[in-house]
């Protein structure tokens, strides 16, 4: 099965490279460091290295508590962070600066994997969330590199898809050295797929510390608005902005709507949507301020979610108003912001249930209901305050995942190689 999978990858390679070049029109990062995608690198790794793979922006931010914990525990090791997307690589630069080595992960081709492992020779590999690449996993197994699937989550939909892959998926999951699952339902699904040594370690995102400087900047920005309420539409995806903005027509005319799209390549497209709707818009990237009369503030910057959560009264988080699986709501809860999400939160089902049960979040059936809930909250500061406190308490109760992950990493680094 793996041979067929590899053959199909080689057949798809021209189309993959063409798409890479095409995406590079809007995100130049896709046209840089292409050699790294084939396992080549001019980085000097040093003799002792730990490797963490975080595919894109969300995984990079989730990996931060673990990367920093590893850096403290293994100060004599370099840490390599790999990404798949250009946005993820840019986020890693913002989060880690010069404290890590940074590269693209190689394509899952045997030769590329071999060059990558021969060059870096990691003592430990950590794959964030659900990054299952059969040739990469097999290459690590053959080289005796212990491989941990960290902060691992698996929806029932994804589990069914992997089950249909049969032996290929079973071999890949079985070759992992360990899995740190976010919750019990994730752990059960990983075991069913053949993973061994599965631990319920919690969600690393509860350990993420919002940038205090950005949070303070957001609060100061909010104070300068004085009496205006602020409704944040955060991490929105294609197809959601039109519907959410249409419903926002019913929000108090003096309120400021802050819109932060999930993907940077869509910033200009979303600005065009706002223009078509006749919304007077200020753009963060251009240093414009939402003076009185400007209805919309477009958050078209990266790495500033702590700022946006710091300035808002209520947050409606996107990704769940289309069947896309939702987006992370923990950062908003940690900031003490009341949260509203959509119906399609299957990638964050456990966290959503926890937040709703804790009265830190509301789950709406559609965009209209979500904005209706937001309007009610904006008119009820006491309820907003209660939800914000509940969110902070929820996050405090579930911290500690980074240390539990570190315990598994220590065990893997000291254990004899597994057959």
In 10 A of CB 28, how many CB atoms? 10
- Rounded Cα distance between 261 and 238, Å, is 9
Give CA–CA dist 202/210, Å, rounded. 19
The gap from C-alpha 96 to its chain's centroid, in whole angstroms, comes to 15
Q: Which of 35, 36, 59, 247 is catalytic?
A: 59
What is the Cα–Cα distance from 65 to 209, expressed in whole angstroms? 8
Strands 178-181 and 361-363: unpaired
Q: Confirm whether 59 is a catalytic residue.
A: yes
The residue whose two tokens read 């937040």 is 355
CA distances from 138 to 77, 178, 300 (A): 24, 14, 40
Q: Rounded distance, CA 355 to CA 358, Å?
A: 5
Q: Is 400 helix (H, G, I), strand (E, B) or coil?
A: coil
Q: In sequence order, which ranges of 193-337 are alpha helices (DSSP H)?
A: 212-224, 240-247, 267-276, 305-311, 330-334
Q: At how many degrees (to 10) do helices 110-120 and 134-143 cross? A: 40
**182's tokens:** 């976010």
β-bridge mates for residue 148, sequence order: 126, 178
Number of neighbouring beta carbons within 10 Å of residue 44: 8
With tokens 């492992």, the residue in question is 117
Alpha-carbon distance values, 297 to 180, 287, 288 (Å): 39, 11, 9
At residue 106, the 3 state secondary structure works out as: coil
Q: Which residues are catalytic?
A: 59
């Amino acid at each position: 099965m793996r041979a067929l999978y590899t053959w199909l990858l080689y057949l798809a390679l021209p189309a993959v490279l063409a798409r890479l070049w095409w995406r590079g029109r809007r995100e130049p990062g896709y046209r840089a460091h292409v050699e790294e995608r084939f396992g080549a690198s001019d980085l000097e790794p040093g003799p002792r290295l730990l490797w963490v793979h975080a595919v894109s922006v969300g995984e990079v931010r989730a990996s931060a508590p673990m990367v920093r914990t590893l850096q403290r525990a293994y100060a004599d090791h370099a840490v390599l962070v790999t990404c798949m997307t250009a946005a993820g690589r840019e986020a890693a630069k913002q989060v880690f600066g010069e404290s890590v080595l940074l590269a693209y992960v190689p394509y899952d081709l045997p030769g590329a994997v071999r060059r990558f492992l021969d060059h870096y020779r990691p003592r430990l590999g950590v794959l964030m969330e659900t990054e299952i690449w059969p040739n990469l996993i097999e290459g690590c197994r053959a080289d005796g590199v212990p491989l941990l699937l960290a902060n691992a989550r698996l929806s029932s939909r994804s589990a069914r898809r992997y089950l249909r892959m049969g032996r290929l998926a079973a071999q890949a999951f079985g070759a992992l050295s360990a899995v740190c699952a976010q919750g019990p339902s994730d752990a059960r699904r990983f075991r069913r797929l053949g993973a061994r040594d599965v631990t319920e370690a919690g969600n690393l995102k509860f350990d993420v510390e919002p940038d205090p400087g950005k949070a303070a900047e957001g609060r100061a920005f909010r104070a300068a608005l004085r009496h205006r309420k602020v409704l944040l539409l955060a991490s929105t995806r294609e197809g959601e902005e039109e519907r959410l903005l249409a419903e926002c027509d019913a929000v108090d005319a003096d309120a400021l709507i802050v819109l932060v799209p999930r993907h940077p390549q869509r910033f200009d497209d979303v600005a065009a949507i706002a223009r078509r709707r006749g919304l007077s818009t200020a753009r963060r990237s251009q240093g414009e301020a939402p003076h009185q009369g400007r209805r919309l503030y477009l958050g078209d910057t990266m790495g500033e979610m702590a700022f946006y959560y710091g300035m808002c009264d209520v947050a409606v988080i996107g990704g769940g108003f289309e069947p896309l699986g939702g987006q992370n709501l923990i950062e908003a809860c940690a900031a003490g912001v009341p949260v509203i999400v959509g119906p399609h939160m299957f990638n964050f089902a456990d966290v959503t249930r926890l937040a709703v049960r804790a009265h830190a979040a509301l789950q709406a059936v559609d965009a209209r209901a979500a904005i209706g809930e937001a309007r009610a909250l904006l008119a009820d500061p006491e309820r907003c305050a209660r939800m914000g406190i509940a969110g902070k308490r929820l996050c405090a109760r579930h911290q500690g995942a980074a240390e539990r992950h570190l315990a598994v990493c220590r065990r893997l680094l000291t254990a004899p190689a597994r057959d």
